[in-house]
Amino acid sequence: MCIQRRAFERIPVNIKVRFYCYDTDYLGTVTNLSENGMFISMNKMLFPFDSRIDIIIPLSDKLLRVPVLVIRMTRSEQIFDGMGVEVLNSSPDYLAFVSSLK
């Protein structure tokens, strides 16, 4: 049996974020993140959705915009309630933010 290890450690968090998709404003909660990805839970997300979106993370002094690629969706019954995303082009600000959480 082969056990896959992640390239980066996941950090458990509880961070409120927002993102926009087809003129709809969504709120979600990042439940874990790493240098190259995050999982976002939300109440409900409707389709269709863009596979590339910007996640907005509010910091104390600014908004951190993180471009991501949606790589998987989770659902409970008929409602999509979470998504795993891959961070595209990790910025120094995003990497510093993740480091500050370790």
- Residue 36 is classified by DSSP as T
Domain map (residue ranges) of the chain: 11-101
Q: Given pLDDT bands bounded at 50, 70 and 90, which one contains residue 5?
A: low
Q: What tokens does 58 get?
A: 């509010």
* Nearest by Cα to 88 from 65, 58, 72: 65
Length of the chain: 102
Q: Given pLDDT bands bounded at 50, 70 and 90, which one contains residue 87?
A: very high
This prediction has a pTM of 0.85
Beta 52-58 vs 11-21: how paired, if at all?
antiparallel
Q: What is the mean pLDDT of the chain?
A: 88
pLDDT in tens, 19-66: 987 778 889 999 999 999 999 998 877 665 668 999 999 999 999 999
Task: Return the CATH number of 11-101, one of 3.30.200.20, 2.40.10.220, 2.60.120.1440, 3.40.50.1580.
Answer: 2.40.10.220
